[in-house]
Amino acid sequence: MEFVRLEVEGGVGTIRLDRPKMNALNVQVQDEIRACAEEATARDDVKAVVVWGGEKVFAAGADIKEMATMSYTDMVARSGPLQASLGAVARIPKPTIAAITGYALGGGCELALCCDFRVVADDARLGQPEILLGIIPGAGGTQRLARLVGPAKAKELIFGGRFVDAQEALEIGLADLVVPAADVHETAVAWARRYTGAASFAIRAAKEAIDRGVETDLETGLEIERMLFAGLFATRDREIGMASFVENGPGKARFEGR
């Protein structure tokens, strides 16, 4: 693909955005993100995923020049695929980490919100400034941001369209780790490597239980957990993990991913 590619090394897949100058998320980039996310989901050699925009910028938002020419009916047709493109990242059933340098604004911030974790450069800026264009976030920002930082903080950020720096992002839960800009990608990959030897189906079940559970009431969430927990007793990794624990103690199992 032209602007987005999946690079795989040592069990870690990197979804690399590379559209000069600011990784603006035009329609083509959106579709390529979706294709790479689906490939990362399907590939057994990918155990965890890093989303990275390069050393200078994560993604500075949608392609406003392209969007400015779209009519209401154009956006009715496009808004579903727009959400689906970033939603494909959220649906990757493996640990995902956004490696954020420079700016993660608008659609770029929404892409970062689709990941499980966010490693942020100490000089980065994040935000949902769509209100300054007379619109609102349309690729999940109103929903995922509110779930991550709480409704009141999400409203304050979205209503005002202001940017937050790395330290504030860390304080409100929008960032999970802040490091020097030069270390962002290496740190994110190292984090992803923690999961390359894990029991893949257990990771998948844990992610599904958490993501689906927070969207419902406690009783329903507990039932989701119960079914996924029981289902893991059909996996080879569960046999390996328990046998290894009995024989050698915790943390020594060598899982097979099946």
Residues with a catalytic annotation lie at: 62, 107, 110, 130
207-218: burial string, b at 16+ Cβ within 10 Å, e else: bbbeeebeeeee
Do residues 48 and 96 lie in contact, with contact meaning Cβ atoms separated by under 8 Å? yes
117-121, strands of its sheet edge to edge: 4-9, 12-17, 48-52, 96-100, 117-121, 177-179
Distances from the Cα of 224 to the Cαs of 41, 87, 93, 212, 236, in angstroms?
A: 21, 21, 16, 8, 21
Residue 70: exposure state from Cβ atoms within 10 A (0-12, 13-18, ≥19): middle
Measured CA to CA, the distance from residue 144 to residue 205 in angstroms comes to: 20
C-alpha of 176 from chain center: 12
CB 145 within 8 A of CB 128: yes
DSSP run (H or E) holding 236: helix 236-248
Give per-residue burial for 222-255: e unless 16+ CB within 10 Å, then b.
eebbeebeeebeebebbebbeebeeeeeeeebeb
9 beta partners: 12
